[in-house]
Structure 1
Amino acid sequence: VQDIVFDFGVKPRLSNDRGNAILVASSIYEACKYFELFQKTVFKGKCAVVTSYNPLARDVTLEETGANTETDKQFIYNTYTELLKEIDANPGMTKTETYEERAKTLFTKEPANMKLLVVVDKLLTGFDAPPCTYLYIDKSMQDHGLFQAICRTNRLDGDDKEFGYIVDYKNLFDQVKGAIAVYTSELDHSAGGADPEILLQDRLTKGRERLENALEAIVLLCEPVEPPKGELEHIHYFCGNTEISQDLKEHETQRVALYKAAATLVRAYANIADELDRAGYSEADIARIKRDLNRCLDLREIIRKASGETIDLKAYEADMRHLIDSYIEADEPRKISPFDGMTLLELIVKSGIADAVSNLPGGIKNNKGAIAETIANNVRSKIIKDHLNDPAFYDKMSALLDEIIADLRAKRIDYEEYLKRIAELAKNVQAGQAGDMPPELNTPGRRALYNNLNQDLGSNQSAAAAEGPEPYGVIPDSTLDLAMKIDDAVKRTRPDGWRGVHTREQVIKAALYEILKDVSEVERIFLIIKQQREY
């Protein structure tokens, strides 16, 4: 039981709720005993026992026990009675059959809600469950039955499942080979084509092959990087040219390939990390592999920072806390930095450009060019991500970013001036606003309406056009009034849950048309309104 609980805390697929497992017990009594023990762990409510047993009163009528004891039959009967007491039988089915159908449905379709099935003989043949990744065997089995059982894990359901795992508590390895031999001897070899032999592969040999392939994939992926293949050259290859606004987005495929290749390498290494010598590696080879792995992880971190694609760990906080509480013993935590979990732009806003730069990885912060590229890419990433919220504002910010980068490249400004200007721009982009705004514009939605209506009015007023565009932040009062009218109309007329429901969206568009009197303008402003959480 502790083995399985531990595996679900650390093993791929089991730990991220993408996969689940089957435990084969040697008897119905042991299956029930397993089930009882699992109810005292994190599996409570996410584990089921499926056997051929159906509780009947006559099973225990003649059983005799002493004080505070129960026989095996009574234990089985009481276990089933307890787990079935909340079950309402489906038409034409018993409570036991209904319980088993629900368990199988959850197991195959919702692995996060049915992590483990404890079985004896049932479900070991003909049960197709692609999420099933691990099979724990605590029962003596042989020949066809054993082969059918181990095949429960061979259905693939995603890139993260290359094969299933068999955990053997009964030393059945020789029987596994025998079962495969029996099955293979019955295959038809006369049809031509591929040989239908069943192959039993050595885990360490296969693990070494996966590790070598993963290392080679990283090398091939980085081969096009320009010499001398330093941090800056890698940033250019995976993030593009900061002077071209779309380059960061267009190089996304290279970055995704790097992240996937790094994850594959980490998994391949972890599978045989404690057995590298047994897999045939020398001490020098092991040292080389560890260096290559660390270099790959450092590169991944540099590219993530440079592209502004760092992972938000808040979604994994509960899982990490569970692992820490379950398996790690340590003194009370002591906070040594106030910057945990912050993005680079958040660091710039909170602590200034100097502290933000000092928190970058060593490979970046020691290179002025890499620092400039990293900050620019983070600002660009934020602009691309939030552009739909306020197109006019973020278009202006994008133009300012292009101007700052061009000035640095043309050496019209020095590195210190670049940092000063990019820090100010980063603060504006992070805040979603720039300059002095009228006090009425105290929400992101109002500011977005104000900015985009101003852009529209500015282009339609010929007198203003003749005199040249007004500076940012200097906007006619009519635009402010119009923005406030639209804000009030949307908040007054919006139906509950209007997003994605055509008839409800039409209610808001009708209110916009009463103010704007232009169908195309209504559609343009509606898309901006749809992005604002406050509406």
Structure 2
Amino acid sequence: MKEAGYTEKEIEQIKADIKHFENVRKEIQLASGDYIDLKQYEPAMRHLIDSYIGADESRMLANFDDMSLVELLVEKGQEALKDLPKSIRDNPDAMAEAIENNLRKVIIEESPANPMYYEKMSVLLDELIKLRKEATLEYEKYLNEIIALSGKVKKPNTTSDYPTSINTNAKRALFDNLGRNEAMAVKLDNKILTTKKDGWRDNIQKSKAVRNAITEVLKSYSITDDNEIHRIFDLVKNQREY
């Protein structure tokens, strides 16, 4: 920068500006939940910033580069809030909105895997937001409720709403989206597992075999509507376990 004609004072000011706006960017991303997961690139970027800019303040948010805010809330509870930027941590409304925005993002992202379950989670979040804005819920109690909801969103298996046989995410998705019919969910899960072949989503014949298996099981429960069969087929395609 000296060779480019900048004075020492100008160099320091530019470095300070970069530090400031990098932190502002991080805070906005965290508060809004509007960020792209670039975990594989961020460490290298942080190294460049730390090495050439000396952005010491940016380390304040380092914990969030490998875990989302919602994941930290599930793992650490209210202790996770201590890692938030000071400008958010010292403002209860800003902190609440940051949690809500991040939680909403997770619900939207996870919804295709279990629409009925995450629709229920969305309703619960809306209710908590309404209570907070109407100031009808004490802030401490609100934090406990929102952290509990974060656990249900990230780890559906930790809830006690499922029979013991509904013990995988795929079974839970079938159970929730088939009228909570335990026998049908278990039967369909077994049928899919014994029918599916490797790479079935990208192969027309293999995909057709899975759809036929779904049709067969649903038909045994008097479900023959093509739209319903297609809905369950799409649900099955969104299950990582299949």
Alignment match, 2:210? 508
- The runs of 5 or more residues in structure 2 that have no matched partner are 49-61
State yes or no: 1:281 paired with 2:22.
Answer: no
Alignment match, 1:527? 234
Q: Percent identity of the aligned residues? A: 39
Alignment match, 2:141? 417
Alignment match, 2:127? 403
Amino acid paired to 2:237: K
Of 369, 374, 397, which aligns to 2:93?
A: 369
Equivalents in 2 of 1:292, 1:316: separation in Å? 23
CA contact (8 A) 1:312 1:341 kept: no
Alignment match, 2:66? 341
Of 199, 208, 223, which aligns to 1:497?
A: 199
Equivalents in 2 of 1:338, 1:296: separation in Å? 19
* Residues 390 and 357 (structure 1), Cα distance of their counterparts in 2 relative to 1, 3 Å cut: same
CA contact (8 A) 2:74 2:150 kept: yes
Please state whether the residue corresponding to 1:435 is helix, strand or coil. coil
1:15-74 Cα distance to aligned partner (Å, 9 max, x none): xxxxxxxxxxxxxxxxxxxxxxxxxxxxxxxxxxxxxxxxxxxxxxxxxxxxxxxxxxxx
1:410-448 Cα distance to aligned partner (Å, 9 max, x none): 111122121111111101001135433111111100000
- Using CA pairs under 8 Å that are at least 6 residues apart, name the structure with larger relative contact order, 1 or 2: 2
Under a length normalisation based on structure 1, what TM-score does the superposition of the two structures give?
A: 0.39
* Residues 483 and 404 (structure 1), Cα distance of their counterparts in 2 relative to 1, 3 Å cut: same
1:69-105 Cα distance to aligned partner (Å, 9 max, x none): xxxxxxxxxxxxxxxxxxxxxxxxxxxxxxxxxxxxx
Amino acid paired to 1:435: S
Larger Rg: 1
1:199-233 Cα distance to aligned partner (Å, 9 max, x none): xxxxxxxxxxxxxxxxxxxxxxxxxxxxxxxxxxx
Alignment match, 2:188? 486
- Equivalenced residues, count: 220
Alignment match, 2:56? none
- The runs of 5 or more residues in structure 1 that have no matched partner are 1-274, 324-336, 455-474
Of 359, 365, 386, which aligns to 2:83?
A: 359
Q: CA deviation at 1:338?
A: 9.3
Q: How does 1:175-190 map to 2 (within 5 A)?
A: none
CA contact (8 A) 2:63 2:83 kept: no
State yes or no: 1:393 paired with 2:117.
Answer: yes
Equivalents in 2 of 1:318, 1:352: separation in Å? 25
CA RMSD in angstroms comes to 2.5
- Structure 1 window deviating more from structure 2 (412-421 vs 400-409): it is 412-421
* Residues 319 and 295 (structure 1), Cα distance of their counterparts in 2 relative to 1, 3 Å cut: closer
Structure number having the greater strand percentage: 1
Amino acid paired to 2:241: E
Structure number having the greater helix percentage: 2
Alignment match, 1:294? 19
CA contact (8 A) 1:307 1:374 kept: yes
CA contact (8 A) 2:215 2:229 kept: yes
* Residues 298 and 413 (structure 1), Cα distance of their counterparts in 2 relative to 1, 3 Å cut: same
CA contact (8 A) 2:42 2:65 kept: no
* Residues 427 and 523 (structure 1), Cα distance of their counterparts in 2 relative to 1, 3 Å cut: same
Moved beyond 4 Å, runs of 4+: 316-320, 337-340
Q: CA deviation at 1:341?
A: 2.3
Under a length normalisation based on structure 2, what TM-score does the superposition of the two structures give?
A: 0.82
